[in-house]
Amino acid sequence: MNLRERSNASTTSPPIGVGIIGLGRIGALHADHLMNAIRGARLVRAAVDPAHKKKLEAEGYPIPLTDDPGALINDPEVEAVVIASPSTFHYEHIVLVTEARKPLFCEKPLADNVPDAMKAADKIRTSGIPFQIGFQRRFDPGYRRARQLIEQGCIGVPELFKGVTCDRIPSVDYLKTSGGLFWDLGVHDFDAARFLTGLEIESVYAHGAVLVDKQLEEIDDVDYGLVILRFSSGAMGVVHNAWRAPWGYEIRAEVYGSKGKVVTELDEKFPTRLYDQRGIVIDRHTLFTERFRDAYRDEIQAFVDAILAGKIPSPGVDDAVKALLVADAATRSRKSRDWVQIPL
């Protein structure tokens, strides 16, 4: 049964077979959701690098593993693919999926450089495959509610966006493949800026510093960054990214408007506070996989639901490209110390 027939079939049709590439920090969570929490889909195969395959097999990983992503993508049991491999492999894996013409959920970014990302976007568009990019904040209740309030006109005309993402620094090996601070962390804030305000970012000015780990200087990256945004409406924005968060994972978005402002931050791990001689003690999330656990599940559910309903998944390839171009412009601005225009 192909996917078109599935969308016309009754709700009793068998679940979609999904193959995942990458079972690291984020891939393992997507795989867990596909095995245990997603309606209408089941995980049938996973591809990882050879050393990881050996380790997972020794631990008794419950799903068949391969170290050949091409074999996974072309496996007839695999009807849809999730890419959660390192960013340096996204382009090559996207090309294989578009050639196999299978629905694709891809972790951000589309590629680790702009020319490959644009080629990947073209291939996705011309192949016509259902495609969703991994901007999970769009599925978080806090961000969704903020968007809804802004759409309802509760804050009037958006005039200023503020976004914060601070996290503990990952390994330098990971950072080497990440594209840099603005490609890895900032891209979520740039997407949130577009999603919440409904506005396009026209130009950026960025400043960065290495204050956490000197090794970042060797890879021409920074661990602190500030990006000033200019939206095409004339509205302003600022994004604060840092690989430093000893108090726990921190994200925040604020949109100030002509009539009010909306703020979303949900860093409390439990709806519980301890009041004692220290004052008020709150448990905080320490990992993005904790803070956005449900959003990561809901984005995959939305992808599967869209495929089954024959609808176009969202956020799609245009959203993937736009946020990536802002991240790239911010990276170039940091280096050139000039305002950089986002290509339209």
- Which residues make up the interface to ligand NAD (CB under 6 A)? 21-27, 47-49, 52, 69, 84-87, 89, 107-108, 134, 136, 174, 184, 288
Nearest distance in Å: CB 52, ligand NAD:
3
Instruction: Please state whether beta strands 16-21 and 80-83 pair in parallel, antiparallel, or not at all (unpaired).
Output: parallel
Which residue minimizes CB distance to ligand NAD?
A: 24
Of the pair 108, 194, the CB lying nearest ligand NAD is at: 108
DSSP of 120-177: HHHHHHHHT--EEE--GGGGSHHHHHHHHHHHTTTT-SEEEEEEEEE-----HHHHHT
On the question of a cis peptide bond just before residue 246, with omega within 30 degrees of 0, the verdict is no
User: 140 phi and psi, to 5 degrees?
Assistant: -80, 135
Q: Measured from the CB atom, is 133 or 229 closer to ligand NAD?
A: 133
End-to-end Cα separation, the chain, in angstroms: 40
Closer residue to ligand NAD in complex, CB, 236/266: 266
Residue closer to ligand NAD (CB basis): 94 or 146:
94
In contact, 43 and 35? CB cutoff 8 Å: yes
- Smallest distance from ligand NAD to CB 51, Å: 7
Chain centroid to CA 121: 16
Sheet hosting strand 261-264, strand order edge to edge: 261-264, 250-257, 158-166, 236-242, 224-231, 201-209, 340-341
Are 16 and 28 in contact, with CB atoms under 8 Å apart? no
Q: Which is nearer to ligand NAD, 111 or 308 (CB)?
A: 111
How near is the Cβ of 27 to ligand NAD at its closest, in Å?
5
Q: Which of residues 26 and 78 has its CB atom nearest to ligand NAD in the complex?
A: 26
Q: How far is the CB of 338 from ligand NAD (least distance, A)?
A: 27
Closest to ligand NAD by CB, 52 vs 123, is: 52
Amino acid at 9: A
Q: Which is nearer to ligand NAD, 179 or 237 (CB)?
A: 179
R_g of the chain computed on alpha carbons: 20
User: What beta strand segments (E) does 173-306 contain?
Assistant: 201-209, 224-231, 236-242, 250-257, 261-264, 268-276, 279-284
State in angstroms the smallest separation of the CB of 179 from ligand NAD: 8
Nearest distance, CB of residue 21 and ligand NAD, angstroms? 5
Nearer to ligand NAD, 3 or 71 (CB): 71
Distance in angstroms (rounded) separating the CA atoms of residues 297 and 31: 10
Q: In angstroms, give the least distance from the CB of 316 to ligand NAD.
A: 15
Distance CA(107)–CA(86), nearest Å, equals: 9
| Minimum CB–partner distance for residue 144 and ligand NAD (Å) | 16
DSSP state of 84: -
Min CB(45)–ligand NAD separation in Å: 12
